[in-house]
Amino acid sequence: MKALLVTGGAGFIGSNFVHFWQARHPGHTLVVLDALTYAGNRHNLQACQGRAGFHFVHGSINDQPLVEQLLTQYGIDTVVHFAAESHVDRSIYGPDAFIETNVLGTHTLLKAARKVWSEQGGFDGKRFHHVSTDEVYGTLGPGDPAFCETTPYAPNSPYAASKACSDHLVRAYHHTYGLPVTTSNCSNNYGPYQFPEKLLPLCLLNILQGKPLPLYGNGLQIRDWLHVDDHNRGIALILDRGALGDTYNIGGNNEWTNLDTVKLLCRTADAAFAADPSLARRFPESPCSRGLEAASLITFVKDRPGHDTRYAIDAGKLTRELGYTPAHSFAEGLAATVAWYLAHEPWWRGIQDQSYRH
């Protein structure tokens, strides 16, 4: 039985990983460390409260004494590091927090793991898994091959640069100190519990409330969409059989322009309203409640600085070596995501009125 420390486990991907892991490994010790910044939400973990082996700690990954205490107190042998500032727009206007969390915070975790595990007799049976992003690779042209693990790093935003730096630190701690690390770089995630500043939940909630669906520039930027459960299945495979010191890309083999992605979301919302008349009463501001198409809300806005044109992940290494394949089609996964948000209105209303912070 593993004992996990999951950093950032009250955020979007981290909380989904916690639910994923506990469903498959009931009773395992799982400690969530989360600073509960704006994107951290205790409600994401409500179903875990009271489960055997689950512990939540409100604290920062920059607090090395606290991290060392948790590693020792709970006998942690596996760190799964999700904690990060992750919104590109925020990094453009406030990059300092990204350096503090993504770079210095990752370094603090690495120092703590190295110190405690060394004092406990060595690194055998230990694992530090670092969760990163495809944005470290920069941008692709229309005909360029997808990012692979050997693609040179070329980050174009403060967010991407901070994650690239953290990736290098993780690699350095393996090659210099022998720390047993693995790294995964994923494409754009979607699914339950995603904070509504990101494209899909933002546009879905705007559809429900009759607000514009803002698309940067011409909306033709391409992203590779990955359901969060597929992402977490990939991480679990890496934790189980991934080679120490290695990097694995996790993608959905699912490239869409932002415009086509939002149009698919609109059609999915239209279908949901057509199938359930009660939605028109719950969301009277939505054009779907008046028989109009959600796509009528699409609005093009000024492009953001340094906007990457295309991301695409080649997950062939993870498939060949560990047997990974995405299980969700985009249409099916997006329909399930829309259904989740419709069924969890109090969750996203709490974010909109800020009551989730209390």
Residues annotated as part of the active site: 134-135, 159
* Full DSSP string of 99-145: IIIIIIIHHHHHHHHHHHHHHTT-STT-EEEEEEEGGGG----TTSP
Question: In the predicted model, what is the mean pLDDT of the chain?
Answer: 97
CB-based contacts of 346, cutoff 8 Å, min separation 6: none
pTM (predicted TM-score):
0.96
**What CATH number is given for 3-195+225-253+307-329 in this structure?**
3.40.50.720
Q: Please report the pLDDT score of residue 358 as a whole number.
A: 81
DSSP letter for 303, please: P
Q: Please report the pLDDT score of residue 208 as a whole number.
A: 98
Q: Please report the pLDDT score of residue 250 as a whole number.
A: 98
Q: How many whole angstroms separate alpha carbon 216 and alpha carbon 209?
A: 20
Identify whether the C-beta of residue 62 lies closer than 8 Å to the C-beta of residue 100: yes
State what percent of residues in the chain have pLDDT above 90.
98
14-27 pLDDT, tens digit each: 999 999 999 999 98
Which of 80, 162, 86, 83 has its CA nearest to residue 113?
80
182-236 pLDDT, tens digit each: 999 999 999 999 999 999 999 999 999 999 999 999 999 999 999 999 999 999 9
Residue 1 pLDDT greater than 80, yes or no: no
Which of 51, 22, 18 has its CA nearest to residue 34?
18
CB-based contacts of 67, cutoff 8 Å, min separation 6: 5, 33, 61, 108, 109, 112, 113
Six-digit token string for 76 = 């942690």
Alpha helices in the chain (DSSP H): 12-24, 64-73, 88-93, 96-98, 106-119, 158-177, 199-209, 228-241, 258-275, 278-282, 316-322, 330-343, 345-352
Q: Where are the domains of the chain?
A: 3-195+225-253+307-329
